[in-house]
Every structure is written in C-alpha cells, then in structure tokens.
Structure 1
Amino acid sequence: MRARQNPPRPFGEVEFVCLMAAIQALQALAIDVMLPALGNISQDLGVTDPNERQLVIGIFLIFSGLGSLFPGALGDRFGRRPVVLTCLGVYVALSLASALVTDFTALLILRAVLGFFTSGMMVMPMAIIRDRFSGDRMARVQSLVAMTFMVVPMLAPTVGQAVLLVADWRWIFGVMAGLAAGVAFWTFMRLPETLHDDHRQTIMPRTILINMVAAVRCRSALGYFLGASFVQGALFGYINSSQQLIAEHFGAGVLFPFVFGGMALVMSGTNFVNSRIVERFGARRVSHTATIAYVIVAGVHLVWAMAGESLWVFVPLMTISMCLMSFIGSNYQSIALQPFARTAGAAASVMAFVRLLLGATLGTLIGQAYDGTARPLLAAMTLAGLIALALVLYSERGVLFRRLNAPSRPTVGV
C-alpha cells in the first residue's frame, strides 16, 4: 500500500507577512549592513574623499530604481514566483562576487548591477500583497510587513560591526549571500503563485507602456507615490550620511550601530501601531495626519539645529520623524496601488521606479551635501514634507482626511 502523503501546511498570514518582509529586507540588508564597514572599505580600496564612500550605498539605490521598471511587467506575464526566485539567485551570485573585488570602481559596478537585478525583491512583494488584499486591509498587511522587515535595519549595522570584529569586511558580502540563499529556499518551498490567470498580461511593449502610463496618469495615485518618493529621499539622505553624522560628528563611535538600530526598532514599533489603527481610521486619515506632523517636527528640528545640538537632542527628534515616516510610507503605497488590481505588477514597477530613483537621487544629493552638521539633512526633510503634503492635496483635490471605500473591481489598466 502506498504511504499517504501529508498535504502541505496552509500558507497563513503570519508566514506570508514574514516571507514578504524577508524578501524586502534583503534589499535593506544590502544597504545597512555596509554602514559600519564604509570606512574600512574606503581605506582598503584607496578612497581619499570621505563623502565618496557613500556611493557604495547611493549607487545601489539609484540602480535599484532604474531596475524597478522591469520586474513588474515580467511578473504580470510569467507570475510573481519565478521573478522573485531569479532575483534571489542573482543576489547570491553578485554578493559573492563583491567579496572578491580589489578596486573601488569594480565594487561600485557590482553594487549597481546588484541593485538593478534585485529591484524585483522590492517590487514583487508589493504586487503579491495587492494580489491578496485591497483597501485598508492591504495597508494593514503592508504595515505588518514593514514592521517585520524593519528588524533588519535595526540589526544589520550590528551584524556588520560584529563581522568586522572577527573578520575582513569582505565577509559581510558572504553573510549577505548566505541569508539570501536561505530566503530563496524558503520561497521555493512555500510561496504559491498569487497572480490570477485572468490577470496575466502579454509581453508587448504597447501593453506594458499603456499600463505604466495609466499608473502615472492616475491622479488618485500620482500624488501619493511622488510624495512617498520625496519622504523616502529624505530617509535615504539620513542613511547615506548617518555613519558620518552619528559616529563622527556627534562622537558616538563604535556605539553607532546600537544608536542606529535603536532608532530603527522604534520605527518598527510604529509600523505595528499603524497596522492596528489603519483599518479603524483609514489609510488616508492616518497618513495625512502623519504628513502634517512630519513637517512640523522636521521644521522644529531644523530651527533647533541652527543653534547647535547634541546627540541626545538629535536622536529623539530624528526618531520621531522616522516614526512619522512609518505612518506615511505604507499607507501612501496602499492608497496608490488601490486602483490597479488587474495590473498590479506594472503599477508596482513604475511606482517603485519613480520612488526609488527619485528617492535615491535625492538621498545621494542630500548625503553629498553633508557639511559636518545635521542642517542640510533637516532642511531637506522639511522641504520634502512640504512637497509631499502639496502632492497629496493634488491627488485628493484639496480635501484631506476623507475615508473612501475601496472599489470592488480593478479600475485602471488593460
């Protein structure tokens, strides 16, 4: 008699959230785990300009934005699962290659290629979440994913610092490859295909272009993903200059990973709070309130910094701003994706392209403007918040705090 095979364990919401978070977190890992090693890398590879070391982060982010145009269309045609697995495989291979470089330019090239080919690890989870959820529930799930993957920015600098205590900086790339291989195995074994057969698109330039243009032209989405780009650009500016600002300017030294991680921990908790309140109050009300508060806090922080500040002033005020970003990012993303059930991949791609490319470019410019103080960063944060608020007002036709019911049918795309 043939032995009975046990049916596979159901793919529940907890595992779904953790897997989506793990996939997205690998891209965050490729950024934050490098921060403690930037000085070592620049010294070992002969970099003389102290701001040039930031390009290890900035180049990765910019090419992640450029690459984001492609995985969505591929995911709409072939499914989410094969695109995710391909991106994870490339992540492993290029991480191992980065560990072998002997030239800074070669490292930047590999970082650019890594960012380009692993952009799907940010785009596909957005599309997968949209495949399964809609409306304020989608915002709740996205907040839970964000909360879970924020554990990585909290721990990544500490992991990088720990590697440096026992080994060369090159082993950081080995850790990245090993973790990506583990997530790839988990994805292969457990992630089902979420793209509905009726929603599959053809790989035709005209169809892809129509779907992407539709996403850009949709007024109810445009202000939100552009606004998210400016707020994320300010966050990238902080990440790019955080090691110089906290470790060197404010004198935290080897405590930098713990300060950085503690701020990320509080930000992660805010995403949990958002997941608990967003279905009650609505993604619009929560994010609109957070945007206004973000502008106020950043402005106050800038005025304070003009008179001089210490680490113990900077960290609490910056943490508050980062927490408000949590209420902005997940909710803006959910609102922007709501009209695109049928073409979620293409919409997620073009939105990620704009958000990452614009955000990374702004973040790089903010980082390069670092002058030994927090003032350029805080001025950029204040301006980014004001622009985001204006863009949301455009999408909402001048009316904030409304709560709209999600449409039951997809409204945009072919």
Structure 2
Amino acid sequence: MTKKQEQNIILLLGALQGIGPFSTDMYLAAFPTIAQELNVTIAEVAYSMSSYFVGICLGQLLNGPLIDRFGRKNPLLIMLGLYILASIGCSMVNSVEGLIVLRFFQAIGGSMGMVANRAIVRDVFPANRLAQVFSTMTLVMGIAPIIAPSVGGFVVVGMGWRAIFWVLAAFASLVLGLVYFFLPESRGKDRSVSLKPKAVLTDFYSILQNRAFLGFTLVAAMNTAGIFAFIANAPFVYMKLLGLNEQTFGWVFGLNAAFFVVGSQLNRWLLKYHSSETIAKRGLLVQALMGVALVVVVAFSYLSLGSLMSLIAVYTFCLGMIGANAMALAIRPFSKNVGSATALLGSFQMGAGAVASAICSYFDDGTAMPMVSVMAGVAFVGLLGLWFGTNHTQKSDKNDEIIFAGDH
C-alpha cells in the first residue's frame, strides 16, 4: 500500500468515526430549547444522551461478530442506512420518550462505524503502528467536537433544533457514499465465524480471558467516561451556571475540545521516544490531578469561566494522549476475531460513558459537583486499569520468552 493510499484510508476512517462526536456534541447547545419545546427538564433531555450511549454499547456487541462473519464493508453500509433513518425520525418526535428511543436506534447504526474503523486499522496496519494511526485519526475526527457545538448552536438559532438531525442525516449520507465508492474491503467473509449466540458468547469469553485486554480496556473505558461526563453536563454548567448563550457555549466547548486534538497529536511525536504504557501513565497522573483540582474549585465555590476552561483544557489534553494508546494496547494481542475484540472494547467504553452521564443526571443537585466528581474518579480507576494491564503484559512477554527459549 502506498503512503497516499494509507492517508486516504485514515482520512475516510476519521470521517467515519466523526459521526459519533457529531451525534453527541452537535445537539448539546439545543438541550434548553428541546426541554422547553417538549415541556421537560434538561436532565430529562440528557437521558437521550444516555440512551445513545446504551445503543452504542449494545450495537457494537451486535456489529462486531457481523463484520467478522460478512466482511467490513457491506455491514457498515447497512448500518449507516439505519443511522440515517433514525436521524430523520429524531427530527420528527413530539415527546422526550420518542427522542430517547430513536436516539437508541441511531446509536445502533452509528456504532458500526466505531467497530469497523478500528477493525480495519488492525487489518491494514502493523501492531507497532496502531497507536500512531489512532492518533492521526483523532486529528480528523477531533474536528467534529470542535465545530459540532458551534454548528449546532447556529442551526438551533437559525432553523430550530429539529434541523440538527437533518444535518446529521446528510453528513452520514455523505460518509456512506465515500465508503461505498472509496473504501476497499480489508477482510473478506469468514464462514468459520458463527453467529449463533453460543458461539458468539464463546468468542467474547475467550477475548475476556486476556487480562492485558481487560486492563487496557478499563483505561479506555474510563477515558470515555471522563469525556462524556463532561459532554453530558457541559450545557448545564456553561449555560445555566455560568450564563453563556448557545453560540458562545459552542465556541467555548470547541476550544476545550481542541486541547483533546492537541494532546492526541503530541502523542504521535512522543511515541517516537516512549512506549504507549509510559505515555498513558503520565497522562493519567496529570488527569487525576486536574480532576481533584476541579472538585476543589467547585467545593469551595471558586467556579468561574476561566478556572473551569483552564482545568478542563488540561484534562482533555490528557484524554487525547491516553485514548489512542489505551485502544492500541487493548487490541494489539488479536489478529483473529478482531471485530469482536473491538466490539467489546467499544461497548465497554460507551457503557462507561452511559453510566457516567447517568450518574451525573441521577445525582443532579444544581451544581457542577456531580460532573467534576465523576471526572476525578474515573482518572484514578484508569490508573488501576493501566497497572493491571501493564503487569499482565509483562507476564505474557516473559512467558513468550520462556517458550521461545524452550524451542531452542
């Protein structure tokens, strides 16, 4: 494969992965408007975010075995179609319950992009380049959370919140066309892969037996939980507590998201000199420190736009450094059933995001404390996951050395 072909694949996969951030971030600025029109609270509207996370979680468990059995491309096209139809449905709802249900099905379709793009990266690139490729993809997909809230804010003001879902449907249609015409099939059908429930569960169980996978997946899951604890509560904190309007919120949120992209790109450079484990460890330590600082700021009533933006900026900068390394370390051991492995990884990530946002909604007390407490807690859990994964990776490497020596 030529370098240009590699770059084109990375760009396309980044656009595919960008569907997820657009789906979550673009309608954030519309939360107050949706709540007002549907006659519910912002916290109730936030459950549509949780239902999306649940759909992403379950959808990946469905889609992983599908791409192992039928190849990557055709299942991806079908699920993008489902995403488009559900997006159109979201634009027509008249109740928050309808929005919650359709966001779930939107996520089922959109989750295929997350599973397929990671599997394709594992198909196409060698294991020692995975973290670097994931970081490069983040540069492409990272544009989405930077511009999505701003675009959403302008759409809400100019055309109403329902138009947001038409924009999402149009973007997914564009991606579907690009996939159809320009994305090559990286792995064909595998008739040895069974879709019977018992066989699927057996494959999942065998993957979960890999303890290094469990540890690094926990890191990735806590990374996602930290991101979405912030995303789900940012509209309330910035607009209700700090008084920003929809458009200003979009710019502020986008600036915070930009630090995520900067962190991911610094990670590409750091990988030339340090291991993924080392970079993730240092990122998690700084992330935990920022989480504690956020709790202190809120607890002692020092919350301001400047303090929140600066601490969140460093926090998201660390998330950008951690995410690509955690994903690469988690899927590195697998060459078969890659779709199922990436599905488990992604479902744990989105499951953690759903739980984090739901916890924040459940403990809503009219302050930013639920958000910052979750953001701090997940960093410490991530450190435990990194220790567990690294410890079992080292044990596995030692066992491989013993076996190799015995062969001689």
Q: For the residues of structure 1 that align with 2:376 and 2:37, how far apart are their CA atoms? A: 37
Determine the C-alpha separation between the residues in 1 that align with 2:192 and 2:181: 23
| Aligned twin of 1:175 | 167
The alignment's TM-score, normalised by the length of structure 1, stands at 0.90
Structure 2 Cα separation of the partners of residues 143 and 151 of structure 1: 13
Give 1:115-194 correspondences, 5 Å limit: 115-194=107-186
Q: Which residue of 2 aligns with 1:93?
A: 85
Distance 1:204 1:191 in 2: 29
2:8 is aligned, of 12, 15, 29, to 15
Structure 1 counterpart of 2:145, one-letter code: P
Count matched residues: 396
Residue in structure 2 matching 1:27, options 12, 20, 45: 20
Query: 1:84 and 2:76 equivalent?
Result: yes
Contact (CA 8 Å) 1:235, 1:363: kept in 2 or not?
A: no
1:228-271 deviation per Cα after TM superposition (whole angstroms, max 9, x unaligned): 21231122111111001011211222310000011111211211
Mind listing any 5+ residue stretches in structure 2 that lack a counterpart? 402-408
Q: Is the 8 A contact 2:25 2:148 kept in 1?
A: yes
Structure 2 equivalent of residue 302 of structure 1 = 295
Question: Which amino acid letter does the alignment assign opposite residue 157 of structure 2?
Answer: L
1:275 aligns with 2:268: yes
Give 1:109 deviation, angstroms: 1.1
* C-alpha displacement of 1:199: 9.4
1:370, distance to aligned residue in structure 2 (A): 3.3
Percentage of pairs with the same residue:
25
Instruction: Give yes or no for contact 2:79–2:108 (8 Å, CA) kept in 1.
Output: no
Q: Describe the shift of the 1:160–1:388 C-alpha distance in structure 2 as closer, same or farther (beyond 3 A).
A: same
Q: Secondary structure at the match of 1:280?
A: coil
The residue aligned with 1:365 is 359
- Contact 1:69/1:353 (8 A) holds in 2: yes
Asked if 2 retains the 8 angstrom alpha-carbon contact of 1:134 and 1:338, the reply is: no
User: Per-residue deviation at 1:11?
Assistant: 6.4
The one-letter amino acid of 1:115's match is A
- Equivalences for residues 197-212 of structure 1 within 5 A: 201-212=193-204
Deviates more, 1:60-69 or 1:10-19: 10-19
The alpha-carbon distance between structure 1 residues 372 and 76, as it changes in their structure 2 partners (threshold 3 A), is same
Matched letter for residue 217 of structure 1: Q
Kindly report the root-mean-square deviation, in angstroms, between the aligned alpha carbons of the 2 structures. Answer: 2.3
- The structure-2 alpha-carbon separation of the partners of 1:30 and 1:197, relative to structure 1 and needing over 3 Å to count, comes to closer
CA distance, structure 2, for counterparts of residue 193 and residue 329 of structure 1? 26
Contact 2:71 2:189 in 1 (8 A): no
- For residue 276 of structure 1, report the CA deviation from its aligned partner: 2.2
CA-CA distance at 1:66 after TM superposition: 1.5
CA offset digits 1:323-362 (Å, max 9, x no partner): 1011111110100000111111010111212221132122
Q: Is the 8 A contact 1:199 1:342 kept in 2?
A: no
- Counterpart contact for 1:135–1:335, Cα < 8 Å: no
Residue 287 of structure 1: which of 268, 280, 283 is its match? 280
8 Å CA contact retained: 1:225, 1:332: yes
What SS does structure 2 have at the residue aligned with 1:69? helix
- Equivalent residue number for residue 232 of structure 1: 224
Q: Which amino acid aligns with 2:322?
A: I
- The CA deviation at 1:151 is 0.5
1:13-69 superposed Cα distances (whole Å, 9 cap, x missing partner): 22111111111111211111111111111111221x331121121211122111110
Match of 1:411 in 2: none
Q: Is the contact made by 2:60 and 2:115 (CA closer than 8 Å) also made in structure 1?
A: yes
SS of residue in 1 equivalent to 2:391: coil
Cα distance in 2 for partners of 1:191, 1:397 equals 38
Equivalent residues of 1:287, 1:331 under 8 A apart: yes
What is the CA distance between 1:299 and its match in structure 2? 1.4
Match of 1:381 among 359, 370, 375: 375
Name the CA distance, whole Å, in 2 between partners of 1:111 and 1:11: 36
Whether the 8 Å CA contact 2:80–2:109 is kept in 1: the answer is no
Question: Where does the alignment leave 5 or more consecutive residues of structure 1 unmatched?
Answer: 1-8, 408-414
Q: Is the 8 A contact 2:263 2:317 kept in 1?
A: yes
TM-aligned CA deviation for residue 135 of structure 1? 3.0
| Contact 2:31-2:42 at 8 Å conserved across structures | no
Tell me the equivalent position of 2:405: none
Q: Which amino acid aligns with 1:383?
A: G
